[in-house]
Amino acid sequence: MKAWKFTHPMKYTGSYDSGYWAGYKFKEALGYTTGRHTGVDYNWGSGHDDRGFACHSIANGVVVAKGSKSGFGNYVIIRHELDARLAKQHDAKKYAYSRYLHLQNVTVKKGQEVKVGTAIAQVGDSGTKWAHLHLDLWTDKNGLGPHTDYHKDTQLDSYLDPYKIIEANKNNEETDMFQGRSAQMWAAMYGKEKKTSGETERKLQLTIASQKEQLAKLEDQISGLNAQVKELSKRPTKKQLSEAKDEGAKSLVERIWSIIFRK
């Protein structure tokens, strides 16, 4: 089975091309060590909300490795034989490999064929502080096969951005249940006080602080406008001034007549 259509491995929250993405993106600088992030972190919730979520194969392929390693936790590697179009597009000789980290309850075996969207495990927190899925994707164009190395900047030329590859080659029949929630929902959810990890928490705190600052400025502007409206409400209108003038003239005439007739 050749790989030509892809799906996201799990449900997720956020907008990848905006600031509303909970985990590390492809080739993003890592805040806790040197090197670059080799893949994409998928998150639906925060803390351990994602624990137990189904994790799916992103394309047709064969399970070529499974195991456990420090920092990786439980992992699965799937080999995908690319169709001619994708192989040429990404300078691959023949294969791409997807790697899924931090899993629990792995349900596939080495040598097993899987189809796009096949459930292979559950999302867990093995090898990491908070439950999420780390997904890598690379090709064999430089001879890089299945492996369990990490943070190799010299080999990142073989890696692809899995999110963007999936979006460009989505299997629409399989991906409906894996669609992401909007950035607005992500912002609403993460605006609450929830446990998040490292760099994510720092970004959230900066975002919240910026929003609070903008809100304070708006409140000051509204307060100033309210004061202006209140002040203006105390001033007489042109109509009120005209009526007062007419009333004053009338009163003066009446006083003059009263004086005349008293005489």
Give the CATH number, domain containing residue 69: 2.70.70.10
Is position 200 within any domain?
A: no
Please state the rounded mean pLDDT for residues 74-98: 96
Q: Does residue 237 sit within a domain?
A: no
pLDDT in the model for residue 138: 94
pLDDT tens per residue across span 102-146: 999 999 999 999 999 899 999 999 988 889 999 999 999 989 999
Residue type, 257: W
Residue 239 covered by a domain: no
Assigned domain for 240 exists: no
Q: Which residues form the domain of 108? A: 2-182
CA dihedral 37, 169, 115, 126 (to 10 degrees): 20
Question: The whole model's pTM is what?
Answer: 0.66
pLDDT confidence band for 208 (50 / 70 / 90): low
Q: Is residue 191 very low, low, confident or very high in pLDDT (cuts 50, 70, 90)?
A: very low
Which pLDDT belongs to residue 252?
57
Q: Check residue 189 and give its pLDDT.
A: 46
Residue 5 and residue 59 in contact, taking contact as beta carbons nearer than 8 Å: yes
DSSP 39-55: SEEE-SSSTTTTTT-EE
Q: Where are the alpha helices (DSSP H) in the chain?
A: 84-89, 162-168, 183-190, 198-234, 238-262
What is the per-residue pLDDT for 174? 45
Q: Is residue 194 helix, strand or coil?
A: coil
Gap between the Cα atoms of 37 and 136, Å rounded: 9
Residue 246, token pair as written in the block: 């007419």
DSSP label of 103 = E
Helices (H), strands (E): how many in the chain? 5, 9
Q: CA torsion sign, 212 to 217 to 218 to 224?
A: positive
The answer to the question of residue 238 being in a domain is no
CA–CA dist 154, 254 (Å, integer): 102
Number of folded domains in the chain? 1
Alpha-carbon distance 149 to 118, whole Å? 25
Residue in this structure with the two tokens 């629409």, named with its chain if needed = 172
Question: Pick from 19, 30, 37: which is nearest to 152 by CA?
Answer: 37
Specify the pairing of strand 133-139 against strand 73-82.
unpaired
Residues 13-55: pLDDT tens digits?
A: 778 877 777 787 888 777 666 677 889 999 887 778 888 989 9
The answer to whether residue 230 sits within a structural domain is no
